[in-house]
Amino acid sequence: MRILIIGDGKAGHTIAQSLITENHEVTIVDRSQEALTRSQEALDARTVQGSGVNADTLLEAGVKEADIVIAVTVSDEINMLCCLTAKRLGAGYAIARIRDPEYNKSLGFLMQELLIDYVINPDRLLAQEISRMLRYPFTGGVETFARGRVEMMDFRLGPGDKLLGLAMKDLYRKLPTLPRVLFCAVQRGEEAVIPKGDMVLQEGDRVYVAADIPTITRFFASIGKNTAGIHSVMVLGAGRIAFYLCQLLAQTRMKVTVIERDEARALEFKQMLPEVDVILGDGTDQELLTAEGLEQFDAFVTLSGLDEENIMAALYARRAGVRRVIVKNSRDTYLELLGELGLDSAVSVRRATSDSILRTVRTRSAAHAAEAVERLYHLMDNAVEALEFIAHQEDSFLGQPLRTLQVRQDALIAVIVRAGQVRVPFGEDSIQQGDRVVVIVKGGGVARLEDIFTQVRA
């Protein structure tokens, strides 16, 4: 597909990189020649210098032939105007990044009037992800599928864990009372593995499992993972992500305290969310954190604009004994280091933006709308993807036992949801019309459900 990206910042560059990897034809528009030069050197993309609201610039960039226009400049208003201009000039589909909470109240009206087809709010997406992670203090992340019926989360195997030394094929024979979840993927060191029957779980493995919510909750309880709820949270930074997060946490009656060094921002935050305690001060000041009782909080979330500041504050919180520490990080190069430092729970606005937009592009680019990806998540620094599809009448594999289907070696069928019922599939199960099917794939590149099969037997 021909895709036009307006805005060559961190988000725009990451989105372009992902789309080029999937063989889309990408053109990037930005005012900054310096940013475009960087993209020219690193990406196989065409670049055009200029404003995304300027008709002549968009025409030079090929807007009339663009299947999708993605506006991700730093300004919500410019993004909206870019979409309106692009659609008026003939673009097929327009995506705008809109982050300001004020626009949420009239988002439907704005989308209709400004011809915006899809809105991505990465700050709100990230806040939702963090709120889910707080439900399970031991996991690095929680992803949802099948309209919230299926959850996938990861955990790290530590000394003494009852799963250690067990081969996957022997797991339920040796632990017959263990609730049945699907072991989706394992990260061992820097290697991503789709687990097969002969794989033996080892200390230090990060394991990804999926099931319906009651089953996955019982699973973690049965292996001794702490599923006690979080009742108090301290948040570093009073930006947009913190606003969305505190809104969500306040609905669950959690005690929330926000530390913000900017006096005007702290005052505005308190006015918007009076139920949240707001402290004016430097969140990296260890004396301040101690004075405010950091060690008494169940969780600490770092959401400042500086990665280094977030990491240092998180390390102090970890040393202080805070049970759940979540770090906002914008640099992929830091992910391995964070894991080595014991900070497994890292979230990224850029990654949330890229994943959401990539999912939308795949939906648009599928040969038939019925075959499109419903949901997409990247795992293990993009080494593995989890995708959700809906099975349709024309699919050739319907009704055939899974044991008769040849699934790619780097893929597995994780979950089937039928009529609201969640099932971890085995050999005698089959996919039926209307099923929601979650698949795990190493390496990506899957656009349709049938792509995971190497052969379908008659």
What are the structural domain ranges in the chain? 2-120, 139-222, 231-322, 371-455
Sheet holding 182-188, edge to edge: 142-145, 150-156, 206-212, 182-188, 191-193
Q: What DSSP designation does 405 have?
A: S
**What pLDDT is stored for residue 366 in this prediction?**
54
24-30-31 Cα angle (round to 5):
165
Taking domain 231-322, whether its CATH number is 3.60.150.10 is answered by: no
CA distance 347 to 235: 14
**What pLDDT is stored for residue 368 in this prediction?**
42
Taking domain 371-455, whether its CATH number is 3.30.70.1450 is answered by: yes
The pLDDT tens digits for 354-397 are 878 887 887 676 544 445 677 777 788 778 888 888 888 888 88
Taking domain 139-222, whether its CATH number is 1.20.1250.20 is answered by: no
**What pLDDT is stored for residue 369 in this prediction?**
44
Concatenating the DSSP letter of every residue in 59-127 gives: HHTTGGG-SEEEE--S-HHHHHHHHHHHHHTT-S-EEEE---GGGGGGHHHHHHHTT--EEE-HHHHHH
Class level of CATH domain 2-120: alpha beta
**What pLDDT is stored for residue 456 in this prediction?**
52
The pLDDT tens digits for 192-208 are 898 888 899 999 999 99
- Token pair of 107 as six digits: 């988002």
**Which of 230, 219, 210, 228 is closest to 149 using CA atoms?**
210
**What pLDDT is stored for residue 367 in this prediction?**
42
- Residue 290, number of CB atoms within 10 A of its CB: 12
Concatenating the DSSP letter of every residue in 116-175 gives: --EEE-HHHHHHHHHHHHTTSTT-S-EEEEGGGTEEEEEEE--TT-TTTT-BGGGHHHHS
Domains 2-120 and 231-322 share a fold: yes
SS3 244: helix
CA distance 255 to 278: 11
Do 397 and 450 meet the contact criterion of CB atoms below 8 Å apart? yes
CA distance 187 to 204: 9
Where the chain has pLDDT below 70, the residues are 147, 226-228, 332-337, 339-340, 342, 344, 363, 365-372, 455-458
Torsions phi, psi for 108 (to 5 deg): -60, -45
Do 278 and 258 meet the contact criterion of CB atoms below 8 Å apart? yes
Do 233 and 297 meet the contact criterion of CB atoms below 8 Å apart? yes
At 130, which amino acid appears? I
